[in-house]
Structure 1
């Protein structure tokens, strides 16, 4: 990757501030973001889908609204004829460089916990691909790998709205040092 491409990639992924890091450091908030990235959902729909109390979900929705990760969608008429206020993901969460370690000991594991819950909910037949690997990398090699994978993921996430008629896939990329 050239210096210009790297600079462009860095500009697309601004560093998250403390409030944003805190908002992204909770598995339930990450699950809300994923669900609202797929569908415009009300607080009650989110609570039902996640098996949570509506008050708890509303607290987390408000955290995501205040940081710009969620936004209100247009008011609509629900099945019972009542007006509903759904939410949708703004997509901002996927464009930030987050240092979840700054959110405390559970911060870095929140995305993994949310992903584990999503996989469990989807069932074993939902898994499309799994790659488990160990690589020996210099710091520069690791950074290059991360940058290249983020570039591919960004290519797809940036154009995702063009494929809303296709099935939705979830995924996570994690690169960590081994304890050995």
Structure 2
């Protein structure tokens, strides 16, 4: 199957992009703006934070191209709230966010899943050569990239995927 020449390609992040993704809060903001645009006030309310604090993070994400500012809307009493939408750019960066930030964003997200909700998880210990480990990581990445390229399913349920192939520090 030939790849679409206009499809995004993986690349290393710039220093500014890596700094922007170094916050689990910013990763959460990107998730919140993935399916529907949200204003700074909506993000602040959802995060339980001061709008000024959230605006700092929104501006960082906008300045680095992770969020796109949409035209301002008409608000109450003449206000002009501006919605922001995630661009999906973060997925196509190799090593954009560090492992601790990604793990913290994962923990933050999973901790808010309602009790009784099914969250399939697995942890598998393997013993692989460096080549086999690289093959596993490449195959998992290719599968995730395939799904990332798919358009959102109308009426579909929002889900997240977290994956890590890492050295097992509990075994020799």
**TM-score calculated relative to the size of structure 1:** 0.83
Match of 1:129 in 2: 120
Match of 2:54 in 1: 57
Q: How does 1:19-168 map to 2 (within 5 A)?
A: 19-78=16-75, 82-98=79-95, 100=97, 107-161=98-152, 163-168=153-158
Structure 2 regions of 5+ residues with no counterpart? Answer: none
1:173 aligns with 2:170: no
Task: Return the structure number with greater helix share.
Answer: 1
**TM-score calculated relative to the size of structure 2:** 0.86
| C-alpha distance after superposition, 1:72-109 (max 9, x if no partner) | 12333457774321100000000110164xxxxxx421
Q: CA RMSD in A?
A: 2.2
What secondary structure is seen at the aligned counterpart in 2 of 1:38? Answer: coil
Structure 1 regions of 5+ residues with no counterpart? Answer: 101-106
Contact 2:90 2:96 in 1 (8 A): no
Distance 1:52-1:92 versus aligned 2 partners, 3 A rule: same
Contact 1:30 1:114 in 2 (8 A): yes
